[in-house]
Structure 1
Amino acid sequence: MAAGFAYTGGPRPIAYSAGGELFVFLFFGLAAVTGSYYLQTFVISLSALVVATGVGLVASAVLLVNNYRDLESDRKARKLTLSHHLGRDNAQKLYALLLLLPFLVPLWPHLPQPGSWLAILCLPWALRLVRRFFLEEPGPQFNQVLVQTAQLQLLYSILLSTGLLVEILPQ
């Protein structure tokens, strides 16, 4: 609850700053995934941090789409997000990185193989979203990019988790 308040409330809300994507990465990626892993195993694992990084990067991409779409109205409201500071061209490049870097997670040698590769199945969808992000003008049509980026995050997380779970279950 404190994190939620810090994000949208208080004297300096994170949502109105360039730190939103970093906050989402840390809270919905590293803290959520490694915290859940720790609660179940009582171990802090480098592999769990790698998986958390992938999940957190896609979660940050969801916020970036929202801030990119709303850039002009956010500027008028003095909501100076990361997209404001980067500019549209660099925000597009960051979106591509946030959406594509998670597909390197299965390369981590300490993850169960080949189960972790299941997440690769949604790579074509990620590539299509990156293409749309670069080609379409921001506006109402970006609502679909936002929704589909969130759906990609869900699918990526489900496929990665399923692949890892299948590999560690007793045969």
Structure 2
Amino acid sequence: MATTKSWIKAARPRTLPLALSGIIMGCGLAWFYGAIDALVSVLAIITATLIQVFSNFANDYGDSQKGTDNEFRLGPTRTMQSGEISHSEMKKGMTIVGGLSFIFGIGLVYAGTWHFSHSAFFGFVALGILSLLAAFFYTAGKKSYGYVGLGDLAVFLFFGLLPVIGVFYLNANYWETAVILPAISVGFFSTGVLNLNNMRDIENDQQSGKITLPVRMGARNSRIYHTAMILWGWVATVLFTFHQQESAWQWLFMLTLPLFLIDLKKIQRTKDARSLDPFLKRLSLSTLAFTLLFCLGLILAIS
């Protein structure tokens, strides 16, 4: 029987800062525009955490089924790969966490939409279901899109655009075109984490039939692609700040720029694929720090 320690390991806590960055960004932007809703914000954080854990369980399950998690993989040993959690236990785990995600998600969209638009309620419910399906079919199922190079697009949408813009709307009950720019930043940084993961596992993925973008592009072009995403992510938020500037406090997020630049330089020089693994956590935490300082700057700007 799987232990609590094994379930925590399967939940992959180091992925949670990245999952929460988009939610926090959406809440911070809602605050800046004077439309924050505390209940919506709390429910969004809980729902996003549950969906991320569900996604990690499904990823463990799918890669184990396809044999991608094997002795040649350079990343951390997964719980199903090691036998800590069985197939049947993981199915139950996915069912429970997926169910909780759906329940809290319903509460979230009800709190954020029902009082002013029933159609928006059903639209967000559909997006929530789509998020769960996307989390499952990334590596699980017979036609998992992560095995044909579509994972980057999914991460950009479901870690960047959807959480930032969606949470802003659920708080504010209206669209604000400018928030697309910070959403793009979080999307690119999140996709960068996936790209690092795929760069690390490029050889094993290729041998296992998992055709990620690094497998298609090669190691050198993958590093160029990674640098481009990080730089364009920064450009997007700088443009937003220039356009929406109310105070110099809004430039607080610039304090995290050295973290990104130093790691970009090191990644370009790293030749051993295994040595890329620490940069996944570093980029996740840098993205969270970027988001927190950006949102703090927004709050201070209108205080």
Q: Is the TM value for this pair above 0.5? A: yes
Deviation, 1:112, is 3.4
Contact 2:181 2:239 in 1 (8 A): no
Contact 1:103 1:120 in 2 (8 A): no
Alignment of 1:138 onto 2:269: no
Of 175, 178, 195, 1:44 maps to 175
Report what 2:249 is aligned to: 115
Report what 1:98 is aligned to: 229
Q: Is the deviation greater in 79-88 or in 62-71?
A: 79-88
Contact 1:74 1:80 in 2 (8 A): yes
* Amino acid corresponding to residue 137 of structure 1 in structure 2: K
Q: Which has the larger radius of gyration?
A: 2
Secondary structure of the residue aligned to 2:274 is coil
Report what 1:33 is aligned to: 164
Deviation, 1:17, is 2.2
Report what 1:127 is aligned to: 261
Deviation, 1:2, is 1.7
Deviation, 1:56, is 0.7
Contact 1:21 1:63 in 2 (8 A): yes
Q: Distance in 1 between matches of 2:282 and 2:205?
A: 22
- The TM-score with structure 1 as length reference comes to 0.91
Contact 1:103 1:119 in 2 (8 A): no
Deviation, 1:128, is 0.9
Q: Distance in 2 between matches of 1:92 and 1:26?
A: 21
Q: Distance in 2 between matches of 1:161 and 1:14?
A: 33
Q: Distance in 2 between matches of 1:91 and 1:38?
A: 34
C-alpha distance 7-115 of structure 1, shift in aligned 2 (>3 A) = farther
Within-5 A mapping of 1:72-87? 72-87=203-218
Q: Distance in 2 between matches of 1:159 and 1:147?
A: 18
C-alpha distance 19-116 of structure 1, shift in aligned 2 (>3 A) = farther
Contact 1:106 1:116 in 2 (8 A): no
Deviation, 1:8, is 2.4
Matched length: 169
Q: Distance in 2 between matches of 1:20 and 1:48?
A: 23
Report what 2:299 is aligned to: 165
* Amino acid corresponding to residue 107 of structure 1 in structure 2: L
Alignment of 1:12 onto 2:148: no
- For structure 1, the residue ranges without an aligned partner over 5 or more in a row are none
- For structure 2, the residue ranges without an aligned partner over 5 or more in a row are 1-131
Contact 1:115 1:167 in 2 (8 A): yes
Q: Distance in 1 between matches of 2:233 and 2:145?
A: 24
* Amino acid corresponding to residue 98 of structure 1 in structure 2: M
Q: Distance in 1 between matches of 2:183 and 2:217?
A: 25
What is the RMSD of the two structures over their aligned residues, measured on CA atoms?
Answer: 1.5
Deviation, 1:20, is 0.9
Secondary structure of the residue aligned to 1:156 is helix
Q: Distance in 2 between matches of 1:107 and 1:134?
A: 26
Of 51, 55, 60, 2:191 maps to 60
Point out 4+ residue stretches in structure 1 off by more than 6 angstroms.
Answer: none
* Amino acid corresponding to residue 20 of structure 1 in structure 2: G
Deviation, 1:42, is 0.9
